[in-house]
Structure 1
Amino acid sequence: MNNGTGAHVRANGIRQHYLQFSGEGRPVVIVPGVISPAILWRHVGAWFAETRTCLVVDVRGRGLSEGGAHLDYGLDACATDLEAFIHAKVGTPPLILGHSMGARIAARAVARAPDLAHSLVLVDPPTSGPGRRVYPIPLARTLGLLRAALRGEAWEALQASKARPWPEPLQQLRAEWLTSCDERAVHAAYEDFHGQDFFADLAGARVPISLICAEEGGVVSDADVEEMKRLRPDLHVTRLAGVGHQMQAENFAQFSAELAAVLRRHCY
């Protein structure tokens, strides 16, 4: 498998780490979720590299990007990081794929800077927000995994988790890299899941958007989809059967088949 080339860039005043998978054609930028360092998406980056260049970023406070108490971990700071990263390392407006928290970051960045992206792929974005239902993946469960990792018990905690299973090689990587996630960043992400308005960003991101939802896990409900389609009648929605929130790990064959359809649909 193409494992990509790791590198750092200083952008938006911080050290940002990324994996680059070189290919032909227009670039793709992947923004992972709340406790997902870039390395957990390298199989997706390698798949994209068969036809185009793909860059997977470590969001601040995760992986090998800068972290620490001196940083603002809020949504706006992360969105500005993404904008600065694309200007520094990509240039051409890419297709941006954001998963979970990464989808919220991507939507905010493109809502503020419409010329930043060619198009967006939003994968199971948290739809919680002011006056809305609570994000269904509890903060306590996420923090429990991080704290177990810090004790050297990540593998045991993942095996005991009620979350849907990952393929063992990916699960091993996950256990190894959980300690790279700053708990302060997780708290900030959950606060913004409930305090920031994703639907306003969706309406303001004036580029073609595809939404990929999991059938299981309850992150994006049918009612959420209907509201999104009222805001964006051009939104293309796919719900993948039999998978949960981490669909890129649980069933990559199904996930990549949908990504191929997205690329065709966006003429990308």
Structure 2
Amino acid sequence: MPERFLSQAALAELAGIPAVSRWVTNRGQRIHVLDYGGDLPPAVFIAGITSPAVTLDFVVRRVRDQVRPIVVDLRGRGLSDDGVLHSLESHADDLNAVIGGLKLDRPLMVGHSMGAGIVAFLAAASADAARGSILVDPPLSGPRSGPYPTPLAVFETQLDEAYAGTTAQRVAEHWPRWPVAEQRLRALWLSSCGREAVAATHRSFESVEFAPIWQSLDARTSLIYGEESAVVSGEAVGRLALQNPSPAIVKVAGSGHMVFWDSPEGGLAALRDETARLLSAETSTMPKGTI
């Protein structure tokens, strides 16, 4: 069975996206991004474990009047190279390379799920990497915090279906709440995600603790989470607020972990609000920790 490929139908979807493909090379790995252009402040977006850059198109279109979106295909996904390392640190290094390679001046960073973990890692490690960070339902699992709620086998099953040629109808069985257009897009692009990249990333969910990263973040950070998320529970949010009261915390009512897909209007409204807040806020003088 072939692994990691893109059909002509998938590539044809790029023709309808108002963005330009660009590549940045980091340590020999070519990282692909979709650059939506414009003169507004840049914002770098990173999606989750099995979500190539193109799957965030419906999200970033809603903030193009606020920012210049740049959406990253993480290594092993979309049009980026496979890569060998898939640790949180390696992905954060790619993100930093994109910021430097495209000469982005202190962009806003926005990540969902795995992408949120990557954004948080870089924000905590580098005080000057960005003007602000929006973390959307990041993984809170880890050696002391328990396993990630979705087992690796679930992702592997969906990858097997994608490599064999899945359909929007089959995707809908896994993700019934999603808009039909996003179910169709996932059916076309999931096959671009590499099996080892997904497996290694899933391992990182359970080998890295989020709490030390979170405690190093400041008021230039927003956490957006789904009210019904199994990844970021209400109880966990309470602990995060006690551990570090500086970041803003925003709940999206009626949403699960896949915030923008589960509740597009509520999720996108929260994103717009937090984007506006961070863009308008004065640069914080709060000292930032390192990890």
TM-score scaled by length of structure 2? 0.86
C-alpha contact (below 8 Å) 1:114/1:205 kept by paired residues: no
Once the two structures are overlaid, the 10-residue window that deviates more, 148-157 or 53-62, is: 148-157
Distance change (3 Å), C-alpha of 1:90 and 1:205 = farther
1:193 is the counterpart of 2:193: no
Tell me which residue corresponds to 1:44.
Answer: 59
Structure 1 residue 184, shift from structure 2 partner: 0.5
- CA shift digits 1:87-127 (9 cap, x unpaired): 11143111100100001111111222111011110000010
In the alignment, structure 1 segments of 5+ residues that lack a partner are: none
C-alpha contact (below 8 Å) 1:114/1:207 kept by paired residues: no
Partner of residue 84 from structure 1, selected from 93, 97, 101: 97
Tell me which residue corresponds to 1:218.
Answer: 230
C-alpha contact (below 8 Å) 1:24/1:49 kept by paired residues: no
Once the two structures are overlaid, the 10-residue window that deviates more, 4-13 or 208-217, is: 4-13
1:25 is the counterpart of 2:37: no
Aligned CA RMSD, in angstroms, stands at 1.7
Aligned to 1:9, the other structure's residue is in SS state: strand
Aligned to 1:179, the other structure's residue is in SS state: helix
Aligned to 1:115, the other structure's residue is in SS state: coil
**Deviating runs (4+, > 4 A) in structure 1?**
none
1:250 is the counterpart of 2:262: yes
Structure 1 residue 74, shift from structure 2 partner: 1.3
C-alpha contact (below 8 Å) 2:140/2:232 kept by paired residues: yes
Tell me which residue corresponds to 1:144.
Answer: 157
State the aligned residue count: 265
Sequence identity, in percent? 34
Structure 1 residue 204, shift from structure 2 partner: 2.0
In the alignment, structure 2 segments of 5+ residues that lack a partner are: 1-15, 281-291
Structure 1 residue 52, shift from structure 2 partner: 2.1
Tell me which residue corresponds to 2:170.
Answer: 157
C-alpha contact (below 8 Å) 2:137/2:231 kept by paired residues: yes
- CA shift digits 1:134-182 (9 cap, x unpaired): 2112211111111101111343531322x34211111111000001001
Once the two structures are overlaid, the 10-residue window that deviates more, 95-104 or 218-227, is: 218-227
Tell me which residue corresponds to 1:61.
Answer: 76
